[in-house]
Amino acid sequence: MKRKIFLLYGGKSAEHQVSMRTALAVVQALDFNKYEVTPIYITENGQWVKREALESPVKQLNDLIVQPTKKEENSITLFNNSKTNDNEEPPVIFPLLHGTNGEDGTVQGLLEVLNLPYVGNGVLASAAGMDKVIMKNIFAQAGLKQVDFVSVLRYEWEQDKEKVYQLVEEKLTYPYFVKPANLGSSVGINKCRDRNELEKAFVEAFQYDRKIIVEQGIEAREIEIGVIGNEEPKCSVVGEIVPKAEFYDYKAKYEDRDTALIIPADIPEDTYETIKQMAITAFKVLDCSGLIRADFFVTKDGEVYINEVNTMPGFTPVSMFPLLWKHSGVDYPQLIDRLIELGIERYNEKQ
Ligand code: ATP
Ligand code: MG
Ligand code: MG
Ligand code: MG
């Protein structure tokens, strides 16, 4: 009997397009002899559209876009009628969603309430990992080294902009990185070298979130590592990102062919050990399960800072996370299988 898999993709998120690419790649890599694959497309407005189980992998992104016919679909009926008899295992939900309303614990909460197994991180880890301020506070408590930062609410900023800018300038020295607290793919992120750029960066970041984070900018190499597992997480090799752009912005991530991903990264063994330890600590303190990609900065002097974790990292075959695993001996289809197994394992432990 084939295991039923429901793929959730698209999503009400500024990372909708990134999720679409991930979904296309996953659909093509899933073993259709082993799984019955049902796509559920979430529109940019947040409508859920389910279609029949696929007969075979789709070839084009367009084939994954389904227009909603009804005004709204109820999520419970979406996942229901999937059991043909009582002995059948429940379907596994694969939330291939990045950013808000998907990577942030909201969809995970829905799946918990429906008592369905799903791939990846649970509610708490997803939510804490999505909010850079909460994440950094937890990391600080765990003693993980990271850059200084200031968190600002839109409300505070609207009350007295000058006061907020001064506060930031007292705490940090230019350049800064201004980011929406909850997002990814570098959307809404700007580097600022002076007050003028700071003001512009605030306006942009506040378009995406009511809370932003201002971080001390550092000169450093960017090193990333993959972690998979539940109670016993394991690390991949490390990779380095060398963007041609000023920093690893949205364009450098998805449009530039000039951004180099160097795997394995050429770093000293002890730096690799430090990164592995920090990544495992991050995984544990956020109570992660399934997978994360942890992003680091390594300075010229070999100091290692954690930047962030991503609880549903970019997942196309040319994304960093799958490439790191490929170089660690786990190819793309095996990685997907493993993540599904880990989701089922965690679900069974809770029953
Ligand atoms: P994703 O989820 O796609 O990895 P994100 O939107 O969560 O990205 P970050 O990883 O926090 O964003 O930052 C994006 C990029 O901006 C980094 O990869 C790096 O190039 C640059 N950057 C971010 N913060 C800093 C910093 N404090 N100092 C120097 N560079 C930074
Ligand atoms: Mg991120
Ligand atoms: Mg991300
Ligand atoms: Mg990142």
The protein residue with its alpha carbon nearest to ligand 1, atom 12, reads 186
In this predicted structure, what is the pLDDT of residue 70? 61
Boundary of a domain, candidates 175, 196, 216: 216
Q: 176 and 293: one domain?
A: no
Residues of the chain whose pLDDT is less than 50?
Answer: none
| Ligand approaching nearest to the C-alpha of 133 | 1
In this predicted structure, what is the pLDDT of residue 74? 61
Q: What is the CATH number of the domain that holds 155?
A: 3.30.1490.20
Q: 265 and 336: one domain?
A: yes
The answer for residues whose C-beta is within 8 angstroms of residue 138's C-beta and 6 or more apart is: 128, 285, 286
The protein residue with its alpha carbon nearest to ligand 1, atom 3, reads 185
275, 238 contact by CB (below 8 A): yes
In a domain, 277, yes or no: yes
Q: 209 and 241: one domain?
A: no
Boundary of a domain, candidates 175, 194, 216: 216
In this predicted structure, what is the pLDDT of residue 254? 82
Cα–ligand 1 centroid distance for 186 (angstroms): 6
pLDDT digits (tens, 9 = 90+) for 323-347: 999 999 999 999 999 999 999 999 9
Nearest atom, ligand 1, residue 248 CA: 20
Range of the domain at 320: 129-145+219-350
CA-based end-to-end distance of the chain: 22
pLDDT digits (tens, 9 = 90+) for 44-103: 999 999 888 999 999 999 989 988 876 556 666 777 655 556 678 899 999 999 998 999
Boundary of a domain, candidates 189, 216, 243: 216
Nearest atom, ligand 1, residue 253 CA: 3
Q: 284 and 311: one domain?
A: yes
Residues, beta carbon < 5 Å, ion ligand 4: 295
Q: 91 and 37: one domain?
A: yes
Q: What is the CATH number of the domain that holds 52?
A: 3.40.50.20
In a domain, 268, yes or no: yes
In this predicted structure, what is the pLDDT of residue 84? 58
Q: 200 and 57: one domain?
A: no
| Ligand approaching nearest to the C-alpha of 103 | 3
The ipTM of this complex is 0.98
Instruction: Tell me how many domains the chain contains.
Output: 3
Q: Phi-psi bin for 140: left (phi > 0), alpha (psi -120 to 50), beta?
A: alpha
Q: What is the CATH number of the domain that holds 337?
A: 3.30.470.20
Cα–ligand 2 centroid distance for 252 (angstroms): 14
In this predicted structure, what is the pLDDT of residue 132? 98
Q: 198 and 227: one domain?
A: no
The protein residue with its alpha carbon nearest to ligand 1, atom 27, reads 217
Q: 204 and 97: one domain?
A: no
Ligand 1 site residues, Cβ closer than 6 angstroms: 147, 177, 179, 183-186, 189, 215-218, 222, 247-248, 295, 307-308, 310
The protein residue with its alpha carbon nearest to ligand 1, atom 9, reads 186
For residue 152, give the nearest of 212, 210, 216 by alpha carbon.
Answer: 212
Cα–ligand 3 centroid distance for 105 (angstroms): 14
Q: 234 and 339: one domain?
A: yes
Cα–ligand 3 centroid distance for 46 (angstroms): 19
Nearest atom, ligand 1, residue 98 CA: 2
Cα–ligand 1 centroid distance for 57 (angstroms): 33
Q: 133 and 258: one domain?
A: yes
Q: 230 and 342: one domain?
A: yes
In a domain, 124, yes or no: no
Residue type, 159: Q
Cα–ligand 2 centroid distance for 78 (angstroms): 29
Mutate-to-test residue for ligand 1 from 148, 213, 247, 254, highest number of ligand atoms within 8 A of CB: 247
Mutate-to-test residue for ligand 1 from 146, 295, 321, highest number of ligand atoms within 8 A of CB: 295
Q: 227 and 176: one domain?
A: no
Cα–ligand 4 centroid distance for 308 (angstroms): 6
In a domain, 224, yes or no: yes
In a domain, 193, yes or no: yes
In this predicted structure, what is the pLDDT of residue 324? 98
Give the whole-angstrom CA distance, residue 31 versus residue 38: 13
